[in-house]
Amino acid sequence: MTTLWNKPEISRREFFEKCAEAGAKTFVFGGLVVTTANLLLAQDPEDVRARAEGAVESRLHDTGLGDVRARAEGAPKEAAKGPIYGFVVDTMKCIGCGSCVRACRDENNVPDGFCRTWVEQYTFFPNGEVIVNSPSGGADGFGEDLPSRNMPEELGQLPVRGFFVPKLCNHCINTPCIQVCPVGASYVTREGVVLIDQERCIGCGYCVQACPFGSRYINPQTNTADKCTWCYHRITKGMVPACVQACPAKARIFGSVSDPNSEISQILANNRVQVLKSYLGTNPRTRYIGLDSEVM
Amino acid sequence: MNSARHFIRLLALLAIAAAAFFKARSMVVPADFGKLGHFRASAITDAAAREPRHLGSVTCAECHSEISDPWSKGKHSVPQCENCHGPGMLHVKVVSEDSVDAYPDPIKQNKNALRPTTGIRECEWCHLKTFERPSTLKSIKSVGEHITATGGTFTPASKCTDCHNPHTTAVK
């Protein structure tokens, strides 16, 4: 019988062939064993129940509205674990003053030409044309004349409606940006805040491209990715984000969605809220009141 | 016996490669990486450690009650002091430590370490008429038009604060 060990004249080629064969067999057999073991374990009724509960729990958690079950039972289970934060933007109230953009710049040392939060101006014209404008993110206000409009004279040049939409990082539950980070520099905290580890980030820019909302940029001062943190250094000290504090129209509401008595929980309970680009399934924690279908 | 030697050589190479890999990994990956997820656990405390720069009007009121008292009773009680004057953290530091030297040039030049106000730009941010602004908000088309309409004389040096008290909006 020819085996690996009692055939001294085995050639190098033969040796590697045998090694490859043994490796392949181990791989296939090992896979079978693991799969069978998993199937057998899943038959255990205790385990099945535990898994189902886990799934329900994570689903409740993933609504972005806190632990619904804990609220129903009147037991603030999430409160013991710490808050889960949420953000509401009321577009009906925004006056487009840009205070939020300036406050964010000053608070977070945002370099010129970049924004962690910005305000978009939507203007609708009688021919159906929509002009979206955001000069320097709205930091200098919106007093300027609008760009020229291409429409027949008889329709009239005056806009028919318009509004402002403040934007910021949506702090999604299913984050495309964290998934693509090759070094684990993007992460989400227990409170639901998506952050960037400036020490680990290598500035590859994958996350900047992955974000469908354009919330991220490469900071030219640090050459790392940067974005809105919901002012994590403030909210962990019991303050509100700089933009929320600066807003004179109270169009921005921040707070703990896991506390049913907080202002934001009351607003979420009493309003019809939407998210940006819901069809992408990123499940943002930043929610909007009065979001128009034209808003991208 | 030839094959055994092949085998030992291969194993030795693998062992060296594995040792080199784990050594390199321990040097590159931080110790607390993976403790809370696929990231450096201490990054959270790093992110939370930064100092807030906007302190809120409550802090301003501690020293400037002569301005904040009428402000809080007037029509401008919702916009914060720092919306127009800039973040107050450096100002508090400079005033309490009485030294501007530690800070970079633009702050040294502005001795109170606040954003200089123009008395017109700050007003225009909110009160310039645009179609998108709610009609309930008091807004003007331009400063010149507003001054002419209210019976004043407009000069290029005219400011909103010539007539209005910016903290209460009251006409002087």
A292 to chain B, any CB pair closer than 8 A? The answer is no
ipTM given for this complex: 0.86
- Rounded to the nearest angstrom, the minimum Cα separation between B115 and chain A is 10
Nearest to B123 by CA among A101, A155, A97: A97
pLDDT in tens, B124-161: 999 988 888 888 888 888 888 999 999 888 898 899 99
Write out the H or E segment, with its range, that includes residue A224.
strand A224-226
What are the CA-CA distances from residue A111 to residues A115, A155, A231 (Å)?
8, 42, 16
Q: Which residues of A touch B83 (CB under 8 A)?
A: 99, 102-103, 246, 248
Burial environment of residue B160 by CB neighbours within 10 A (0 to 12, 13 to 18, 19 or more): buried
pTM tops 0.90, yes or no: no
pLDDT in tens, A220-239: 999 999 999 999 999 999 99
- Rounded to the nearest angstrom, the minimum Cα separation between A10 and chain B is 7
pLDDT more than 70, % of chain A: 78
Matching residue, tokens 């919306």: B83
Contact A10/B2, CB-based, under 8 Å?
yes
Q: Which of A10, A95, A229 sits opposite B137 (nearest CB)?
A: A95
Contact A184/B50, CB-based, under 8 Å?
no
Q: Which residues of B touch A98 (CB under 8 A)?
A: 125
A123 to chain B, any CB pair closer than 8 A? The answer is yes
pLDDT at A2: 53
CB B113 within 8 A of CB B106: no
